Amino acid sequence: MFEFAVTSLLSFLVIMDPLGLAPLFVSIAGDREPSERRRIASRAVAIAGGILVAFGTVGGGVLQYLGISIEAVQIAGGILLFKLAFDMILASRRRTTPDELDEAQRREDVTVFPLAIPLLAGPGAFATILVLLTRAGGRPAYVAIVYGAAAVVLATTWVFLRLADRVTDRLGNTGVNVVTRILGLLLAALAVQLVADGVRGLWPR
């Protein structure tokens, strides 16, 4: 159980990347008043949490209805996470396109888009929570660990968003990129393990 808890926590941590999100938050909402930035950060984290819980609740049923196996989810999720990890290692990950970022900077409210979706609750987070819940196998304690890990990382993200200006000033772009690359390496290893587990499940010896 402890190993599963650590895996869940690391998975959400490297996917949401609170430290790497700080500079994006500054570029999107940095021209607003501090009180408004705090409100945006709180609402974005709350909305992202709600979206992840909803997806985790109905996602398994949808897969069952479509006849998609657990192993297929693990392989697909692993491939998607590896792509994200590769971009993180190159420090070139973009969770929004340049056009989306430009639109976000001109919008009055950036809480839902692009902060809650897709920066916090994006494809990587969806794949992560679905794969982890699948591995939990419906066991209440393990399901609670998955949601608890997501909640811890979301809370950490909220702290980093609140302190985004200070974090960016202290670390600079180089420091943020170094941490992002390290997290990307961890994510790549987790992704490979997911694919390996899925392949063993589909084609057992």
Convert the pLDDT of each residue in 87-121 to its tens digit: 777 766 455 555 555 555 555 578 988 789 878 98
* Number of domains the chain is built from: 1
| Residue 35 neighbours by CB distance under 10 Å | 8
pLDDT of residue 159: 95
pLDDT tens track for 140-184: 999 999 999 999 999 999 999 998 888 777 877 777 778 778 877
- If you average pLDDT over residues 12-36, what whole number do you get? 82
* pLDDT greater than 90 at residue 39: yes
- DSSP labels, 168-184: HHHHHHHHHHHHHHHHH
pLDDT of 73 over the 90 cut: no
pTM (two decimals)? 0.73
- pLDDT-derived band at 133 (thresholds 50, 70, 90) equals very high
Q: Which residues contact 74 (CB under 8 A, 6 or more apart)?
A: 131, 134, 135, 194, 195, 197, 198, 201
Q: Is the CB of residue 29 less than 8 Å from the CB of residue 205?
A: no
Give the count of beta carbons closer than 10 Å to the beta carbon of residue 13: 19
Domain that holds residue 148: 2-202
